[in-house]
Chain A
């Protein structure tokens, strides 16, 4: 049974479109994250939610909007997609926000903007 799952695994779309990536965790964690891994494999945090409350919001364009309907889900909606949004997006989850807990990562969603 997958601990952190993401859908879709691959997403190919045209510039200007709006798309969503879904993330679900069945580990009972109360904190979830979105990371972006660029073409050079550099990983950077985008957002974090704790108990459905936004606690980390890095300098991400406001075209990106996370939504957490409940503790087990954290979705990422992207408006007006741009070429530079092409990347692999990883969802992760952990217990609490203390910084010492292991984060469990999903398999990633490869977004390609044409």
Chain B
């Protein structure tokens, strides 16, 4: 079975400051890794994902995440946050290959609050 741990339940930062949201996972098989974002009263949206290849993946709005296999981590970073980044962020994994049937296992979520 897979599990995902997001180490911080809440992260408050000031606008234009850098931020890191931490995610560690546990799995005995290879996994795909995802970050989803949930804005207030909305469904989740994919922010970025790691399937294979380069361990650094980037989103169109300035976030990036790095897959670290030895540390089983997939931390999310942004060098300069905006007020509009205020949301809840979920790290998730699914088993690589055809046996997962798309099942996503989510972490507990991290609420990012950006203050002016």
Contact = CB atoms under 8 A, between A and B. Distances in A.
Interface of A: 4, 31, 33, 40-45, 48, 50, 55-56, 90, 92, 94, 96-103, 105-108
A107 B43 CA distance: 4
B108 A45 contact: no
B44 to A, nearest CB: 4
A100 B51 contact: yes
B7 to A, nearest CB: 15
Interface stretch (B14-22, B70-78, B88-96): B88-96
B98 A98 contact: yes
A97 B109 contact: no
B contact residues, range: 20 to 34
Contacts of B32: 99-100
B94 A99 contact: yes
Contacts of B101: 31, 48, 50, 55-56, 97, 99
Contacts of B102: 31, 33, 48, 56, 94, 96-99, 101, 103
A102 B59 CA distance: 14
Interface in B93-116: 94-98, 100-106, 108-109
B94 A105 contact: no
A98 B52 CA distance: 14
A100 B32 CA distance: 6
A43 B95 CA distance: 17
B106 A42 contact: yes
The 10 closest A-B pairs by CB, nearest first: A105-B43, A99-B94, A99-B100, A43-B106, A97-B101, A105-B44, A102-B46, A97-B102, A55-B101, A41-B109
A42 B98 CA distance: 25
26 contacts: A4-B43, A33-B102, A40-B108, A45-B103, A45-B104, A45-B105, A48-B101, A50-B101, A56-B101, A96-B102, A97-B98, A97-B102, A98-B97, A99-B94, A99-B95, A99-B98, A99-B103, A100-B94, A103-B44, A103-B102, A105-B36, A105-B43, A106-B43, A107-B41, A108-B41, A108-B43
Contact of A90 (B44, B97, B105): B44
Given A42-B109, A99-B32, A48 B103 contact: yes
